[in-house]
Chain A
């Protein structure tokens, strides 16, 4: 089965929360290299891992992950305020 590419905002959220890859990896229970793979969108996480990531950032899963390219946060905020 061919898998779809899953886009994410992990790098952005991690930097915003001032977390290192190692710290985030410890919180979600993976190797820090896996965080790099996730941020570069080279690996699609399982549903369990996706939920763990969204729980760390305290945001809904669909805010972190998407099947279409992520829009810039500023654009999303603008649309929300309209």
Chain B
């Protein structure tokens, strides 16, 4: 399999994974009253299924999750440098994202609920893998 094929194979599920996170957060926060409707449960359930499936495809099966969560003494110098770059990227993206979200929440005068918080924590953990998945 060519390198570009591997890249595109991983890029599509990664984008789907991030899109599923975004979709769940937006749907959850946009209309709190609709959270018990059948349509809401179906669409959010489907997004959650896509999220779990693409997590398995992109981060679990490829070993990216384990690689980005490996203990420092188990990595060699190249892997450490690679992980370092991925973490730097994640830190920058996550900081900007969280600050933007905080600003939106303050301006909209709403309180953040547990679901977006959980998804943001998940995002913080997969972002180094996203970086590596896109580059490899």
**Which of A's residues lie within 8 Å of B, judged by CB?**
29-31, 34, 37, 43, 45-46, 49
Contact = CB atoms under 8 A, between A and B. Distances in A.
A81 B79 CA distance: 42
A45 B79 contact: no
B5 interface: no
Contacts of B81: 43
> Per DSSP, are chain B's interface residues mostly helix, strand or loop, or mixed?
helix
Given A31-B75, A34-B76, 16 more contacts: A29-B76, A30-B76, A30-B77, A30-B78, A31-B76, A31-B78, A31-B79, A34-B77, A34-B78, A34-B79, A37-B78, A43-B78, A43-B81, A45-B77, A46-B77, A49-B77
Interface of B: 75-79, 81
B68 to A, nearest CB: 15
A37 B81 CA distance: 13
A49 B78 CA distance: 10
A49 B79 CA distance: 13
Contacts of B77: 30, 34, 45-46, 49
A5 to B, nearest CB: 15
B94 to A, nearest CB: 26
A82 to B, nearest CB: 39
Contacts of B75: 31
A9 B66 CA distance: 32
A4 B12 CA distance: 34
Contacts of B79: 31, 34
A30 B81 CA distance: 13
Enumerate the 9 nearest inter-chain pairs by beta-carbon distance, A residue then B residue, closest first.
A30-B76, A34-B78, A43-B78, A31-B76, A34-B76, A46-B77, A37-B78, A49-B77, A31-B79
